[in-house]
Amino acid sequence: MSTNETTPTSASDDRPQPKPWISDDLLAILVAAVILIISLVAVMGFGQSTVSVEAEATGSPISTTVYSNPLSSWIGKPGKWTLSVLDSLAPLDKETGTRSPETLIKIASTFVLLTLLLAGAATLRDGSRRLLPFVGGFAVVFLLALVAYTLAAQSAIKSYNLEFALWALLIGLIVSNTVGTPKFLRDAARTEFYIKAGLVLLGAEVLLPRLLELGVPGVFVAWVVTPIVLISTYIFGQRVLKIESRSLNMVISADMSVCGVSAAIATAASCRAKKEELSLAIGISLSFTVIMMVVLPAVISFVGMDPIIGGAWIGGTVDSTGAVAAAGASLGDEAVDVATTVKMIQNILIGVTSFLVAVYWVTYVERDPQGQRPHASEIWKRFPKFVVGFLLVSVLFSVIHAGLEQGPDVVDAVSKGLSKEVRGWLFCLAFVSIGLETRFADFAKYLRGGKPLILYLCGQTLNLILTLLMAWIMFGWLFPPARS
């Protein structure tokens, strides 16, 4: 949360409000912790079952415990649809010929869960007198998010990597730029809060041992090139392009060099970027991802590049995770294996990136140019605490994943059954909220001179060259894969 943010006032009460006793960062951590604890208790307490499987070595049956999340049948979002939007909300049961209400029930119960949690958080922060305006506004923001999710679930839209963030933003922008955003909606359009809570939940999916999945070659392709490109692009933006906003520069650099939308969200929150800066970075990234996911595999096939080197090149350069899978798979099994693993390592790097960007921001960017270096206590005071929550959750789930015999199954069930879906809804609500608080004119000043676009293009060109070079050195020269 920005330090210059004012406490919002309700429609009926424009007097200055007292400072809340609990910060948004701590509330975001609290909300995420409640969701993760509920999910963990559900999995460990009610989701265990014993099944009999055939032992690989002997072939004789052995008993093993499997984990599932009983809450998964209560949390959901609109499903994929192709011809009729009804298939998204109430899919047709092919056997009975009737429409199943299961998805609608899941969406309704997700709404109830989120309303309870977020209204509780709003009450803790602002007191009970603001509870009703929040709940009323939240119901509308949730409805707009539902529309955005449904638009994003159309199969042609999905097939070209046009993520829900884009449609959520569009829906919010349409409302704010036509009839305007009513005051009662502003209470519930809590962008920063939704993003922070979503990021803390994302920590459960950032499993640190997976950073080493590809061994030494993966370390070099994902760990070395990614920071070099990020830092070079940022310096290029500051020194050569002289981009006025450091945070816009950082969000575009991270979005392009790490892993697209999720990295943009994490870095934007760490460096307190403005909402329209995050929207702009995501818009540019998604537009180029659509092009790259089609062009890059075609170039690789045309020049007859080794599929493993091609896969590493795709994994390290195509921004979006889903697009990497699609582009890699078009080159075959070997390529997709390497491409998806490189991208997964980059996905996990967002934890480290987010932390380092936050440290750089509080110690360097936000320091007083005339003053001395800030003390550790001052740095801690200004440090975005939700990043600490994000990292703690990541470490905790990494320990569960690596330390328990059934750790991977437990983490998988916790994430799949509840936290992943809730995280998606929180990000969708955040982008609707950004749209509700943004005018088209807000983008104009950033687009002047086309600097963000030039920054992205130059950074991506460097990324393409360095990643290809490193992929060739690692997978083509030093560690050529043994092929059976």
Euclidean distance between CA atoms 244 and 249, whole angstroms = 8
The 50-89 contact track toward another protein, x by CB under 8 A, reads --------------------------------xxxx----
10 near another protein, rule: CB under 8 A: no
- For 103, residues 6+ apart whose C-beta sits below 8 A from its C-beta are 76, 78, 79, 88, 89, 90, 91
- Pick the stretch among 67-75, 94-102, 108-116, 420-428 that binds another protein (CB under 8 A): 420-428
**Smallest distance from another protein to CB 300, Å:** 17
Ramachandran class of 260: left when φ > 0, alpha when ψ lies in -120 to 50, beta otherwise: left
431 near another protein, rule: CB under 8 A: no
Judged by CB, which is closer to another protein: 191, or 233? 191
Q: Which of 10, 110, 341, 467 binds another protein (CB under 8 A)?
A: 341
> E strands, 254-367, where?
none
Euclidean distance between CA atoms 337 and 345, whole angstroms = 13
**Smallest distance from another protein to CB 104, Å:** 19
CA triplet 73, 77, 79: central angle to 5 degrees? 100
**Smallest distance from another protein to CB 372, Å:** 26
**Smallest distance from another protein to CB 153, Å:** 9
Judged by CB, which is closer to another protein: 278, or 462? 278
Residues 93-132 that bind another protein (CB under 8 A): none
- Pick the stretch among 71-79, 118-126, 299-307, 319-327 that binds another protein (CB under 8 A): 319-327
- Pick the stretch among 117-125, 329-337, 368-376, 473-481 that binds another protein (CB under 8 A): 329-337
CA triplet 193, 360, 241: central angle to 5 degrees? 100
1 near another protein, rule: CB under 8 A: yes
Crossing angle between the packed helical segments 164-178 and 275-303, to the nearest 10 degrees: 140
Residues 235-274 that bind another protein (CB under 8 A): 259-262, 268-269, 272-274
The amino acid present at 309, given as its one-letter code, is I
Task: Give the three-state DSSP class for 53.
Answer: strand
Judged by CB, which is closer to another protein: 242, or 439? 439
Q: Which of 151, 200, 305, 413 binds another protein (CB under 8 A)?
A: 151
- For 256, residues 6+ apart whose C-beta sits below 8 A from its C-beta are 229, 233, 285, 319, 456, 459, 460, 463
The 169-208 contact track toward another protein, x by CB under 8 A, reads -----xxxxxxxxxx--x----xx--x------x--x---
**Smallest distance from another protein to CB 79, Å:** 12
- Please give the size of the binding site for another protein, defined by CB under 8 A: 81
7 near another protein, rule: CB under 8 A: no
Bridge partners (DSSP) listed for residue 61: 54
Ramachandran class of 97: left when φ > 0, alpha when ψ lies in -120 to 50, beta otherwise: left
Task: Give the three-state DSSP class for 66.
Answer: strand
**Smallest distance from another protein to CB 228, Å:** 22
Structure token pair of residue 304: 């007859």
Euclidean distance between CA atoms 23 and 32, whole angstroms = 14
Q: Which of 49, 65, 159, 461 binds another protein (CB under 8 A)?
A: 159
8 near another protein, rule: CB under 8 A: yes
Judged by CB, which is closer to another protein: 133, or 236? 133
**Smallest distance from another protein to CB 391, Å:** 17
State phi, psi for 176 to the nearest 5 degrees: -70, -25
The 342-381 contact track toward another protein, x by CB under 8 A, reads -xx--x----------------------------------
Euclidean distance between CA atoms 328 and 334, whole angstroms = 9
C-alpha of 266 from chain center: 7
Bridge partners (DSSP) listed for residue 154: 81
Residues 377-406 that bind another protein (CB under 8 A): none
